Amino acid sequence: MPVEIIITAGGENIPPIPLEEAVKKELPPVSNAMLIGDQRKFLSMLLTLKCAVDPETSEPTDHLTQEARDFCQKIGSKATKASEVVRRRDPALYRAIQEGIDRVNAQALANVQRIQKWALLEKDFSILGGEFGPTMKLKRQAVIEKYKDEIDAFYKN
């Protein structure tokens, strides 16, 4: 199995998985975190929230899991759906996510390893959505293509 490495525009080699895992550990409502930065000047990240899964389709729904709703309540958000969090840019949750990213960045050995920008996606990753392969391995290239507009927005000037 090839080792996953991001090589920045400056030639720095950054393994994405430790940073992705650190973000998920800091932020219990985050289901998936994918680091972006290959051939880019800085690192960014796509995030999804933990959502209930439809038992018939195995697809994530828009409804946050109990764990995610509990976290939201604890920080003063009334959000129950991923779409409403993203569309309203829920201030309490966005602030909590930035604080979690800041805690992860505080552990970085070098500035190049810090996550500079992030975006919360409305829908969690899934096999049917094309973000995961059959073994639930993240299909990084497919995610980059699917969310090209969100990623490009990170790097505009």
6-154 CATH pick, 3.10.105.10, 3.40.190.10, 3.30.300.30, 1.10.10.10: 3.30.300.30
For residue range 59-73, what is the model confidence (pLDDT) as tens digits? 999 999 999 999 999
| pLDDT beyond 80 at 157 | no
pLDDT band per the 50, 70, 90 thresholds, residue 3: low
For residue 57, give both structure tokens: 């389709």
Q: List, as one string, the DSSP characters of 32-100.
A: EEEEE-TTSSSEEEEEEE-EEEPTTT--EEEEEPHHHHHHHHHTT----BHHHHHHHT-HHHHHHHHHH
pLDDT computed for residue 2 by the predictor: 58
Q: 51 forms bridges with which residues in the sheet?
A: 64
The rounded distance, in Å, linking the Cα atoms of 148 and 119 is: 12
Provide the token pair at 34.
């994918």
Q: Indicate whether this model's pTM tops 0.85.
A: yes
Any bridge partners for residue 38, and if so which? none
Whether the predicted pLDDT of 1 surpasses 60: no
Mean pLDDT for the chain? 95
Domain range summary for the chain, segments of one domain joined by + = 6-154
92 neighbors 77 (Cβ within 8 angstroms): yes
